[in-house]
Amino acid sequence: MKLIGIARAHTNIALIKYWGKRNKELFLPMNSSLSLTLDAFYTDTKVTFDDALTEDSFLLNGEAQAVEETNKIAKFLDLFRQQMPEYYYAKVESLNFVPTAAGLASSASAFAALAGACNLASGLNLPIDELSTYARRGSGSSTRSLFGGFVEWDMGSDSDASSSRAHFIDDASWDIGMVIIVVNNQKKTVSSRLGMEQTVATSPFYPAWVETAKTDLAQMKQAIQAKDFKTLGEITETNGMKMHATMLGANPPICYFEPESILAQQQVRQLRELGIPAYMTMDAGPNVKVLCRASDMPRIKGELSKVFDESRLITSLPGEGVISLSEA
Ligand code: DP6
C-alpha cells in the first residue's frame, strides 16, 4: 500500500530574528520571531509511505542523499509515523527551486514542505498552525514557512511545547518586496545551529538580545498593522544588526560578514540617501537582504547593479504558505 503526499513551501526571511534555543531537542526558541515569506524560493516535496519498502530514502534534486541527511529526515518522519496506525518506511523526493547561484537553499522551505507532504500522506490533516509545531522540530525557521506574508513564531510557554507555533499576521500585499544581494553562494562556515548554541553559551550581550527582541517584536507588529513601512524597515535593520552584535560577542566570536557584505550594507544606506526606502537584514551567512517597496525593486536593482553584477541581485515578492500539490 502506498500513501502519497506532495506539498510546496516557500522560504522566509526573518525580520525579527530567531537566535538561540531554550530546548534543543524540542526546538523551543529563546525569543519569538517574525518573518516575511518569499515567493522566489521554494521546495516541492513528495512523501511516499509504502509497506513494500525496507528502509527510508531521501532524494534531493534527483540525487540520493548520504546516511546522515537521510537519518535526519527519518527522525522527522517518525513524528508523523508515531501518530499513524502502522509504521511504513518512506521515500522522500525533494526539489529545491532557488534561482541559480543564489546559495539560499534553506532548511526553512525544506522542512515546511516535508511537513506539508507528511501531513497529506499520513492522513493526519492537521490544521496549519498545529502543523507548524511539527515543522519546528526539523528546523526552527521552517515553523514560519507554513504561512504566507508576515508570520509570527510565538516562542510559547515551557509547560506546553505545542504553544510554540506560527501564526499569520498580514498578507504583505501593501507594496512589500525584497532584493537579495548574493555576496557568496557557498555553504556557510558555521551552521546556524552551532552559531546560536555558541552565542547563548558565551556572549555577554545575549540577555540584552532576548530583552530587546521582545520590544522590537511588539513595535514591529504595530508598524505592520499601521502599514508603516519606515518603522517596519528601521526595526528590521536594527534587530538584524543586534543579532550579529551578540554573535561578535561570543567566544570564539562568530562573524558572518564578508568584505562584500559591508559594501552591500553601504549601498543600502546609499539608496536611502537617494530617497529610496530600503532596509537591510542578514542571516547566518554573508548575503544581504533588502526589505523595500515592491514598486521600487526595478530602481533598486538598477542602482545596485552599478556595484554588483546583475546575476547576483534577486528580487522577490511576498510568498504564500504551504500548499498541497497532491491530486485531489
Ligand atoms: C539567522 O532555523 O536554520 O536565519 O532551528 O537550528 O535549524 P535550526 O536553525 P535555523 O536558524 C535560523 C537562524 C536565522 C534567523 C531566522 O531565520 O529567524
Give residues (CB < 6 A) around ligand 1.
Answer: 14, 17-19, 27, 33, 107, 139-141, 192-193, 283-284
Contact (CB, 8 A) for 317 and 36: no
Distance CA 78, CA 151 (A): 27
Point out the ligand 1 atom lying closest to the alpha carbon of residue 191: 3
Please write the tens of the pLDDT for every residue from 167-208. Answer: 999 999 999 999 999 998 776 688 899 999 999 999 999 999
What separation in angstroms does the CA of 151 have from each of 20, 26, 165, 181, 298?
A: 19, 20, 10, 23, 26
Where does the chain have alpha helices with state H? 67-81, 107-121, 128-135, 192-202, 206-225, 229-248, 259-273, 297-304
Cell numbers of 101, please? 547561484
The full length of the chain comes to 328
How deeply is 57 buried, as exposed, middle or buried, from its count of CB atoms within 10 A (0-12, 13-18, 19+)? middle
Low-confidence residues of the chain, pLDDT below 70?
Answer: 99-103, 105, 187-188, 328
The residue whose CA is least distant from atom 1 of ligand 1 is 283
Point out the ligand 1 atom lying closest to the alpha carbon of residue 142: 2
Nearest to 127 by CA among 138, 115, 139: 115
Point out the ligand 1 atom lying closest to the alpha carbon of residue 283: 1
Distance 14 CA to ligand 1 centre (A): 9
Distance 13 CA to ligand 1 centre (A): 10
Q: How much is the pLDDT for 186?
A: 73
Q: How much is the pLDDT for 106?
A: 77
Distance 310 CA to ligand 1 centre (A): 27
Q: How much is the pLDDT for 151?
A: 98
Q: How much is the pLDDT for 64?
A: 95
Contact (CB, 8 A) for 327 and 222: no
Which residues are within 8 A (CB) of 22 and not within 5 positions of it... i.e. 6 or more apart? 28, 29, 30, 155, 158
Amino acid at 241: M
Which residues are within 8 A (CB) of 73 and not within 5 positions of it... i.e. 6 or more apart? 56, 58, 65, 92, 114
Which residues are within 8 A (CB) of 315 and not within 5 positions of it... i.e. 6 or more apart? 40, 177, 178, 179, 180, 297, 301
Point out the ligand 1 atom lying closest to the alpha carbon of residue 193: 6
Q: What are the backbone dihedrals phi and psi of residue 261, each rounded to the nearest 5 degrees, phi first? A: -65, -40
Amino acid at 147: F
pTM, two decimal places:
0.96
What separation in angstroms does the CA of 61 have from each of 117, 138, 164, 250?
A: 16, 19, 31, 36
Q: What are the backbone dihedrals phi and psi of residue 62, each rounded to the nearest 5 degrees, phi first? A: 85, -5
What separation in angstroms does the CA of 312 have from each of 11, 178, 305?
A: 18, 13, 9
Distance 61 CA to ligand 1 centre (A): 22
